[in-house]
Amino acid sequence: MANLPKRGLMTALALFLVDQIIKWAVTGPMGLRALGDAREVLPIFDLRFVPNYGISLGLLTADSNISRWALVAMTGAIALAVGFWMTRERNPVDQVALGCVLGGALGNIIDRVRFGYVVDFADLHFYVDIPGVYVGIVRPFLVFNVADAAITIGVLVLLARALLVRDRPAPVEKSNA
């Protein structure tokens, strides 16, 4: 028990709970339950209900029960692999990053099991009006949720650390021979 990745597990649990509580608030008390239902929070941010039947960027859309459960199985296998990796990881930053990925994956898996889709609600957008060239609404991201953000942040941290950070090797003891 002493070797459990406590930081990673606590991160995963916290993100899972925050994700599920916000999804409940958006679809429950706030009443955003139908495609397109929205509530403006800030001029650049709306809460907007969007059922996501696929994975990132609308890939692998689960348009049947078989594909729905295949996505559950695939993301469940990934979550298990991330959980296993987390138990082997000794670097606390990587443990937290893996906790982000695990917590987000579990939040989206629960949605897909319960509803058949993932509840997306965060809509960041900007109105761009360039004189002479009207652009309109620009969305730098698709509508997303806390779980998606956690997965993205966790993966980016892992990639950045893998590509840019070199852990120092353990010091070599000098012998007095």
pLDDT of residue 2: 53
Q: What are the residue numbers of the active site?
A: 120, 148
Q: What is the pLDDT along the chain (177 residues), one digit of tens a residue?
A: 557 899 999 999 999 999 999 999 999 999 999 998 999 999 999 999 999 998 866 667 888 899 899 999 999 999 999 999 999 999 999 999 999 999 999 999 999 999 999 999 999 999 888 888 777 888 888 899 999 999 999 999 999 999 998 766 667 777 665
CA distances from 81 to 24, 115, 117, 119, 147 (A): 28, 24, 22, 24, 17
Residue 158: CB atoms within 10 A of its CB come to: 19
